[in-house]
Amino acid sequence: MNEIKKRVEKLTELLNYHNKKYYVDDSPEISDFEFDEMLRELEEIEEKYPELKNPNSPTMRVGGEAVTGFEPVVHTVPMQSLQKAFSEDEIRAFDKRVREVIASPSYVVEHKIDGLSVSIEYVNGEFVRGSTRGDGNTGEDVTQNIKTIRSVPMKLKDPIPYLEVRGEVFISQKKFEEINAELEAQEQPLFANPRNAAAGSLRQLNSKIAAKRGLDIFIFNIQQAEGVDISSHTEGLRFLKEQGFKTILNDREFKTIDEVLEKIREIGEERGKLYFGIDGAVVKVNSFESRNELGVTAKFPKWAIAYKYPAEKQTTVIRDIRLQIGRTGVLTPLAVLDTVRIAGSNVSRATLHNADYIEEKDIRIGDTVVIEKAGDIIPAVVEVVAEKRTGEERKFEMPLHCPECGALVVRENGEAAYRCTGIKCPAQRYRNIVHFVSRPAMDIEGLGPSIIEQMLQRDMIETAADLYYLDADDVAQMDKMGKKSAENLMKQLEKSKTNPLNRLIHALGIRHIGEKAAKVLAKEYKTLDALRNASIEELTQIDDIGGIMAESVAEFFNEQQNIEFITRLENAGVSCVDDSAANSVDERFKGMTFVLTGVLSKYKRSEAAAIIESMGGKASSSVSKKTSYVLAGKEAGSKLDKAVKLGIPIISEEEFERMIF
């Protein structure tokens, strides 16, 4: 056992070292494969000898058990906000106020990271807790999610008795785009911007989800420290860097306000070039002694101020309007512009949102327009300079067919968006395939978004149907796969061929047809061929199938690309006939509604819900007086409490099994 313990300690030391080299120092020394092999070895040891697992083990970076809620954390040192300035005159006024107290102040100027402020605490050099800022006095305990941030050290270089630091959690622009692409593929609501994504990810009750979001952090302040003597902000940042934190270290001190303003302008020019978002620059008095003399107000410190950059606008000319096809098939018009520099970057494209936006603002090809960066991220046309028109400008019209694949373009009632209906559309391939293999659809394990993206890049597949024609040897040659993984994937693909028809219908990605509607259609038509030949009038006669849904089904099966896709599935041996248990006469739960809550030990919630529905019952997400039973697993929360209050029968997993067998 002693040798095993030593191996755990050695693996932990190596993993922490290489984690810092990769995520903090940006200078990796080993390959991802070598890192993953060490991590896998540690996971296996911890699984076999759980008593050797440290709460701050590197294996916790991938997330742990889900929590039912976040506990409040009272900040002993308030996490104050900053006074804001919107002009250089206001920065000069701040300097004047400082000089009324401090004769010769020195300043530091930093990027104001656009993220979510957190407190991180260490005892004897070991990470113990992470919490959100909240209202500045009370935040929420997000310790498990903070552990998933690879740039947060779990152990400091020195065993400092107590240290509390403040940082800004953020998501890079690249990661933000990847997250939204995946949400889009799963037909989930998108995040509005990287800050919104960071905040939503940090407050995930399931830390495994937070771990997948790629959260990052910059530490910018020492809140409290015992056993450490630091006299200035720059000295503090150097100390934090030595202890293993990721900081934007800027040693330069500024003696005059003109130098400060020059640095603010310099940071402003960097916007658009950085991999992280900023929404301003922060000016701070460097000396801690001077800060103490200046003091604080109830809301913010008197020794710091945040300069907010104005939304920059520029005038340019629209030379053309082209279409970008998103991963859900939406056609977004983009203005091709004479290149102008705005918010620190060159801009030659700007979004026009949709056809209604173009018509409302009467935007034409050849127009002189005003553009700005919305939230300093996406350039947008905000105004037409009508007085500069020459009469040569041309109106833009949306096409009848997709410019990428030639499929029919449709605009549904009540929607501003035009959509491509082609399943083979190159612009939609990734989204369509991710949806096809997802758990509610064909449920093909081992085909995550990164594997699918790699297959597309290698031209191994064009559509989801091509997955069934993959060669195991080719799959084994892919990054992070190998022979065993390839064999497992082949087995999963083969297994999916016998899925119930409702799963296949859902996997097709027909607009407005989700899991419930797919089950209704499978039960009604029994075969994909029968559904294909159904008219809109017939479809609308079915309970739970409305007019818009019926039109979507008809449009899908009228597109030749989609018929060819289904034929290729059939030729591969994918069942298009419903011979599943869903069509059995067992309706023992008919008229009953079940609510599932907590963690079940023998079933996934989706599996238990499928069993209930196969027996004529309904699985609901909320408890009401109409609920027949609440199936409660471990760590059941508010739904269980509500069921008790309403007097709803509560059953265990064992009782549920007696009901179904």
E strand intervals along 560-655: 593-597, 618-620, 629-632, 650-651
Instruction: Check residue 205 and report its DSSP letter.
Output: S
HEC string of 366-408? CCEEEEEEECCCEEEEEEECHHHCCCCCECCCCCCECCCCCCE
Which residue, 484, 519, 488, 520, is CA-closest to 503? 519
Closest to 271 in 3D by CA, of 173, 166, 169: 173
Residues 6+ apart with CB under 8 A from 323: 331, 332, 333, 334, 399, 403
At 520 the three-state DSSP class reads helix
Distances (CA, A) of 37 to 5, 14, 478, 479, 592: 18, 12, 17, 14, 49
CA distances from 358 to 173, 341, 363, 381, 382 (A): 27, 23, 5, 10, 10
Ranges of H-type helices in 367-512: 429-437, 449-457, 472-476, 483-496, 501-507
Give 402's Cβ-side CA count (13 Å radius): 27
What does the alpha-carbon distance between residue 211 and residue 198 come to, in Å, rounded to a whole number? 12
Burial of 508 (0-12, 13-18, 19+ CB in 10 A): buried
Q: Count Cβ atoms below 10 Å from residue 523 Cβ, excluding itself.
A: 14
CB 154 within 8 A of CB 404: no
CB atoms under 10 Å from CB of 222, counted, come to 21
User: How far is it, in rounded angstroms, from Cα 378 to Cα 159?
Assistant: 45
State the amino acid at position 441 in one-letter form.
A
Burial degree of 120 (CB within 10 A; 0-12, 13-18, 19+): buried
Active site residue 112: yes
Task: Answer yes or no: are the C-beta atoms of 210 and 148 closer than 8 Å.
Answer: yes
Nearest-angstrom CA–CA distance, 524 and 552: 17
Q: Which of 415, 414, 421, 416 is nearest to 400 (CA)?
A: 421
Task: Region of 293 please: left (phi>0), alpha (psi -120 to 50) or beta.
Answer: alpha
The span from the CA of 470 to the CA of 447, in Å, is 13
The end-to-end CA distance of the chain, in Å, is 45
Among the residues of 254-341, which ranges form H helices? 257-270, 288-294
Please tell me the distance from the alpha carbon of residue 162 to that of residue 120, in angstroms, as a whole number: 11
Cβ pair 599, 635 in contact under 8 A = yes
**Out of 20, 112, 155, 618, which one is annotated catalytic?**
112
Question: Which residues are identified as catalytic?
Answer: 112
